[in-house]
Amino acid sequence: MQVWEVGIEWNGQTAAIAVGNLNRVTGMTILESGRMSSALETNEGQKQLSGSRVSPLAGRPAPREMLVDLARLEKEYFDRKPDFEDANQLVSFGTSGHRGTSLNGTFTEAHVLAITQAICDYRKAQGITGPLYMGKDTHALSSPAQCSALEVLAANNVAVIVQDNDGVTPTPVISHAILVYNRTRQVGLVDGVVITPSHNPPEDGGFKYNPPNGGPAGTEATRWIQDRANDLLRAANREVKRIPYEKAIKAPSTHLQDLLLPYVKDLKNVVDMDSIRDAGLRLAVDPLGGAALRYWEPINAMYGLDITVVNPTRDPTFSFMPLDHDGRIRMDCSSPYAMARLVGLRDQYQLAFANDPDSDRHGIVTPTSGLMKPNDFLAVAIHYLLTNRPEWRAKCAVGKTVVSSCMIDRVVEKLRRQLYEVPVGFKWFVSGLIDSSICFGGEESAGASFLRRNGEVWTTDKDGLIMDLLAAEITARTGRDPALHYRELTAEFGSPSYTRIDAPASDEQKRKLQNLSSDSVKESQLAGEPIVAKLTKAPANHAPIGGLKVVATPGWFAARPSGTENIYKIYAESFKDESHLNAIIREAQEMVSNALGQS
């Protein structure tokens, strides 16, 4: 795929951002990050398929008037009461927990109190009697939400372990702490919560739960917590136990500890830190103002690395962020627009990387190619790890989601390993990582984790920091950055074009797509090639994928309904060329439309 570069000026420097090739047939722009920015129009009737246009502000600093009003945000958090007649203002507790903003009543103190009490009740029902690790990121609502949660946890006499000095803690550090604590225990197990809306805009808040397995909570747990929290909300939280924060922080059940150093000290057991040091690499990191900010200097000091923190700013308005493709502030380390500043520095370092605010995602920047697409780095990471981890079991599988690139399939097949393909959601990798039957789990949205060097579990949630450091290990030990490794993979397996678009769908259409049967797809070819698979369940575990995937040898598409908008998402990939990809996209929407009409 041809890529054009657009120069974006940032503080006197020009960042060259690869934004893709404007397709003359379809009228869509394919972003380097794999998203389409404008409407896809076919020649047949100029039918609009998708998408929001790239904002003229994309990649540029946020205007002052766009920054969130922190005082109003906090006031609304404490004062605003949810409207129970509005379903959007109830608790919606999925794998990533509950997310929203106080500005529209979807994330308020009332929500946090109810969710926390529901988690206390869930722990009691499940017999979870050990402490609870609590982390938070740097979003403005995370600190008041942590205070609210601690008031409930202390009142319920739940032992809580939280970072001292009111510090922030990344998601993977909580997962790591849970697993290390529980490793030698059968009773008194710990679990955890992380207060974060991930890479969402600055006005958002989020609250998620990790059970004793250390990973994202499964459907049964999240549904239980959600239903209980909404029952509490509707009863005006009268059943919520609570004590004032001043008492909660000093309660015997509240334990202030350093969670940073145990994690940093253990990194040598998952990444070859000595090789990175010995290579003397000049590295750079932009924590994007997130929870990993305080971790990089201790990593430097402990392992003798040369990692420059190019953006040491912590600002809850995230005013330093270049605007994302839609002109909003979003700390997405897989977006070439949000990553404009770091991409602009790519020639000054041998490798650079970034993470989102809770540090479960990663973005890799190389001098040769700029920001790597998430799928590309996943393929490189898998190929490298499978050939450079001699203590890993030969039979351990590689985990990917149904919407990740088939480059991964080809790499895994060549190395004679088993592929473990599951629905979207990192929770599907948890059990396999725990028992080491899966050595790597990755999602196309730039989230992954992998086993320790000795083949034992590291984390069961996504860990952006070890993916950053793995990129450095690859560069140090091979003398070539990950982008050069990916070029070698494309020379051997072909160069895929991958994208994702959004198509309109009513609530009824989304419901049908969610429950579609593969028998509803009557077509036998996809873009001129025989269809080899029609999937509504994942190949590895036969769990519903919540949509449809259609596969031909040189390309595929998957369609999944959005949980929050009246759209469905089409993921597509071609190992032929861009015109073939466009044909897949056109036929994908036709197939989905036909299947929905027959369901």
The residues annotated as belonging to the active site are 198
d(CA 552, CA 402): 14
**Residue 123: closest CA among 49, 210, 196:** 210
d(CA 336, CA 19): 7
The sign one gets for the Cα dihedral 3, 363, 563, 324 is: negative
Compute the CA torsion angle 394, 399, 403, 407 (nearest 10 deg). -20
CB 369 within 8 A of CB 343: no
CB 361 within 8 A of CB 349: no
| 369-402: burial string, b at 16+ Cβ within 10 Å, e else | bbbbbbbbbbbbbbbbbbeebeebeeebbbbbbb
Residues 6+ apart with CB under 8 A from 254: 150, 154, 159, 160, 162, 248
Q: Which helix (H) or strand (E) holds 421?
A: strand 419-422
Dump the DSSP string for 556-593.
EEEEEE-SSSSEEEEEEEESS-HHHHHHHHHHHHHHHH
- Count CB-CB contacts under 10 A for residue 514: 17
Q: Residue type at 191?
A: D
d(CA 430, CA 434): 6
What are the Cα distances from residue 12, in Å, to 7, 19, 249, 299, 338?
12, 21, 46, 31, 17
Instruction: For 231, list phi and psi in degrees, rounded to 5.
Output: -60, -40
Which of helix, strand or coil describes residue 16?
strand
d(CA 568, CA 136): 31
**Residue 468: closest CA among 388, 352, 328:** 352
Residues 6+ apart with CB under 8 A from 236: none
Separation of CA 211 from chain center: 18
Q: Which two tokens stand for residue 442?
A: 């990755």
- Could you say which DSSP state residue 47 is in? -
Place of tokens 């466009």: 582
Residues 6+ apart with CB under 8 A from 132: 123, 153, 158, 159, 160, 161, 190, 191, 192, 193
d(CA 453, CA 392): 7
CB 110 within 8 A of CB 238: no
